[in-house]
Structure 1
C-alpha cells in the first residue's frame, strides 16, 4: 500500500545500514540487493540480501517531517519492546531483533533489522484460495491459541508499552479514543457521524471498562496479514508496533463479533477458548470496534492513500455500528 509515511532510502543509505548492523564484510555489491515489501500500510520494509546471501528485513519508521497519528508516535520502539517481551515470556514464534538504531544518524527515523521469515501470510493464502477451508479454520484456531498466550503477559499499567501509561483501563482507552478523535478533528475528517456522538457513546459506557482490572499484553493489530504460515503451520507473528497493555477483547480476532465484514471470529474464539461474550463484554467490544473504525477513517487523511476505498468502507461500517446501538 502506498503511503506518505513510507521512508524510502537509496541504495547508498541501505548499504550504510547493513554495514552498521552486520559489519563491512556483509555489504553487497550492485544495487539489486534490496527489495521493498509492499504489503505494509505504515513503515517501509525492505528485504536485504547480505554479501553472504543471507536475507534480512529492514523496517524504517516514517520520515521526521511527516505528521502521524497520536497513537503512532514512537511506535517502532514499541514494537521492539513487544518483540523482547514475547521472546522472553512466551513460546509464541516471532522474529528476533538483530540490530536497533535510534540515533537518526543514517536516516531521520528509528530502524531495526530482523531475519526474513519464509512463508506467506494467512491473509494471502486465504485470498488466493491456497488453503482448504478446513486448513484455514485450523490456522485460525491456532492463531486464537497463540493470541491467548500473548495475553498471558501481565503489565503494571495500562497503555502503550513505551509510555508511562495509566492506572486504569478506563483512563487508557478514553485517552486512545480522544487521541484519534482529535486527530480527525485537526484534519477536518468527516466520520459520517458526529464526533460528539462517539464521545457520548464512550461516556455512557465507561463503567464496563472498569471490569478490566489487570493490564494484559494485547497485540491489537494481529490480523491475518500479520500471521506468517509455512508448510501448513504458523511460523511467526509479525508487526507488533501497536501492542499495549489493556483488555484482551480489543484484539483484532474478536472484531467480527459485531463487524461481520472483518470475518467470522468463531474459529479464532474457539482456539482462544472463549465461546461467547457477556452483555458487558459485548458493550466493550462495540467500543473497541468503534475505535478501530474511527482510526481507519482518520488515517486515510494522514497517509494520503492513492484511493479512498478504505475511507468509504470504514465510514459506512461506523455509521451502521452507531445506528445498531445496543442490539
Structure 2
C-alpha cells in the first residue's frame, strides 16, 4: 500500500514537472532565425494574434526585420502567438531574459500594458510597440518607444475615396476588435466620407471584443456579405487576418473593398479599390537603425504619419483602373490640405 501511494505521488509529480518544463522551454514557440553572425546586433519580435502569414501588420513587421537583416546586418528571433495571444507577457519576458537581445518589439495594441510593465522591469533593454495605446496621461518608460500611425487621417482619405466612387450611395466599415484604435479607423472613414459627400449612408460593424476578432475570416466574410446585401458597394476593413474574409465576400458579391496595413490586390485585384497602408516595415527598420546607433527615441509615442507617406493610400497600376483620375486628384488635394492644417483631422 505504501509503495503504491509513493509510486502514484511520484508519477503525478513527474507529470507536473514535465509539463512545467515544456511550458518553460516551449510555451512561446521561440524560433531561432539568424545565427550567421553571433556578434551582430540582436532583435527579438513577438507577433500578435494571427502571427506570420496574416497578410497584415504581422507580416509587415516581419518584413521590417528582414530588411534590417539585409541592410543593417542584424540577427533576430521571433515568437508566434498561441490561441488569442494570452501569452504575450511570457513571450516578452522570454525575449527580455535573453542576454543577447538588445531590442524587443511587440506587434499590436494588445501588447501595450504588458510591454510597459516588462520595460520597467528590464531598464537595460530597449523596447518598441507597434500601435502603442497607453491610457491618457500614463507614463511611458524611457526605454520604450510607442510606434503609432495616423490611422484616422489615412482613414479620412479612405472614406473620401469610397464616397466619391460609390454608385449606390451606401458604404460599409468592418473593424476587427472593438477598441479605441480601430474606432479611429471608423471615425476617420466616416468623417472623410461625409466631407466629400454629406448625404452618404454608412453601415458599420465590429467582429468582436477580444483579440481573436483579428483572426476570424469566416466572421469577416459573414458580416461583409450582410453589408453588401444591404446596398453597400464598397467596404473599408480594418480587421487584420479577418479581412481576408471581407475580400472573399467582395469577390463573390462583385463589389469593392478597401484594405488596411498593406496592399492586398492579389487575392481579388478586380475588387480591391485601394488600401490604407501603415508602413510598419519602414517603422521597424527605422527603429532598429536608431537603436543600433544611439538614436533610440524612448519615453514617448513616435508618430509615423501622412508626412513622408508612412501612412498613405495605395495608388498604382491596379488601383488606377478602379479609381477615376479626377478622384485621385481630389484625394491628393485633400491629403495636402490635411498636412497644411486646412482640414482638421484630430487623431
TM-score (norm 1): 0.25
Q: Whose radius of gyration is greater, 1 or 2?
A: 2
